[in-house]
Structures are given as structure tokens and as C-alpha cells.
Structure 1
């Protein structure tokens, strides 16, 4: 279970006195607890690993956006800190699909759904997220779907 792996890694990092890694792992744990609290009032509980993966994907996306903003603003030391956090977060994410694999998945979904134009983009994106959500950067996929449908 992903949640248990993160807890184990946190203890290992603490014993190794790796402050940066420990801080990032504690941050991940806090975000997971926040999501647990949000879901207490929910009618249906998602699969635990799927929920943890979703939290990690959102955290990774935030780090990528921050890195870009810090580098554009000339704050390399802050960008480096975010890159270090992103590295720890990505350790727990499933392997991301390559661009070629993403294009193949889009072509398959396009054929399965009969999507032809931009009006079908929502349908294709929804199906893409349902089938490959955990292994796909949806921001990049969006551009590839637009390209495939135009």
C-alpha cells in the first residue's frame, strides 16, 4: 500500500537525519490526511492507493508550476528546493506514459468513441483520464488531444 510505503520512508529519512527528505515526506503525509478529512463526509470512498496517487499528482503539478515561476522570476534557489521536493514526490508516482504512448492511447480512444472534431474533446479527455489518469500528465495530454482532433 502506498500510504504505508510513505510512512516507512518517512521513518527511514528521520533515522538517516535527512532533513529535506523528511520535510517533504511529512508534507505528503499531511496532504494525505487533509484528503482523508475531506472524504469523511463523502458518500463513496475511493480506493486508498488511487486517492494517494491523486494527492501526489496534484502536489507534483504544483511543484512543476512553482519551478517554472521561480525560474522565470530569477529565484533559482527556490526552484532548486521545489525540484528536490518534486523528486521525492515522483518516487511514489507510477511511471508516466511517454509522448508516443500518450498519442497511441488518444488514437485508441478516438477510434473507440468515434470522436472527430473539437466538439468531442471533453469526451476524449474524460475517457483518457478514466483509463490512464494515474500515468498521464493531463496538461500535456490536453495539447495532444487538441492536436489529434483538429
Structure 2
């Protein structure tokens, strides 16, 4: 299973990999690109990362979720490059015997990936400007492109 991809995330394929005969609950979260941010029209997002470091970070987060929760499966895939409106930028799927664990683990994984994985987001607006996303550890910039 890919952790980082430049291709559109195949939700059906990921979901098929998440099934487990011991699981009574499978939770799928898809973080999708919306058409607005900060009262401005968004054209698309662009994600950058150093792939080996981002994969290591996501792998460690997934491994820690197995320790913390009673999971049968945990999957996460993040897009890089240009991601269009309504496309999945990041997908997390968790499977466990009961829904409480599946929901809690899914939230735990996406929250940690969003705040800890070294993946940087740029929002490109319809007025020709762009801005670094608020979840990265870089300074906010606004430029013309």
C-alpha cells in the first residue's frame, strides 16, 4: 500500500484492502479539496514533501495507532502534487471489532498526519495568488504566480 502518491487515491482499492474478517467496523476518512478557504475561491491545492521522510512519519503514526487502539487494519495515503477540487488529498481507513475504536483511531491518525507529517500545502486562489497552508511549520506567504 502506497503511503504517498502523485496519482489520484483509489478509494475502492484502499477500502478493499481494509476489510478483515475480525472487523465489525471500517471507517473511511477522505480529506478533500474544497473550493473555498478564508472567504476566497480556491482553484486547487499543491502538496510538497520529501517522500522518504513523509513515509517514515506516516508509517510511525500508523504503527503507534495499532499500539494505542485495538485495530485490525490501519491505512493512510497522502497525495502530493496538484490536487483538484473534490479530489482526495489524504485518506485514512481504520478497521476494528467495534466502531468506537475505528472512529477514535481514524481521528488519531488524521490529526497526527496533518500536524506532524512533513507535507506542505499551498492553496492556489482564483485571483492568481497562493498561500502556504496553515498546518505546515513554514511561514505564511502570499505571492502572485
User: Shorter-chain TM-score: which interval?
Assistant: under 0.3
More helix as a share of residues: 1
Q: Under a length normalisation based on structure 1, what TM-score does the superposition of the two structures give?
A: 0.27
More strand as a share of residues: 2
Q: Under a length normalisation based on structure 2, what TM-score does the superposition of the two structures give?
A: 0.27
Tell which structure's C-alpha radius of gyration is larger: 1
Higher relative CO (Cα under 8 Å, sequence separation at least 6) belongs to: 2
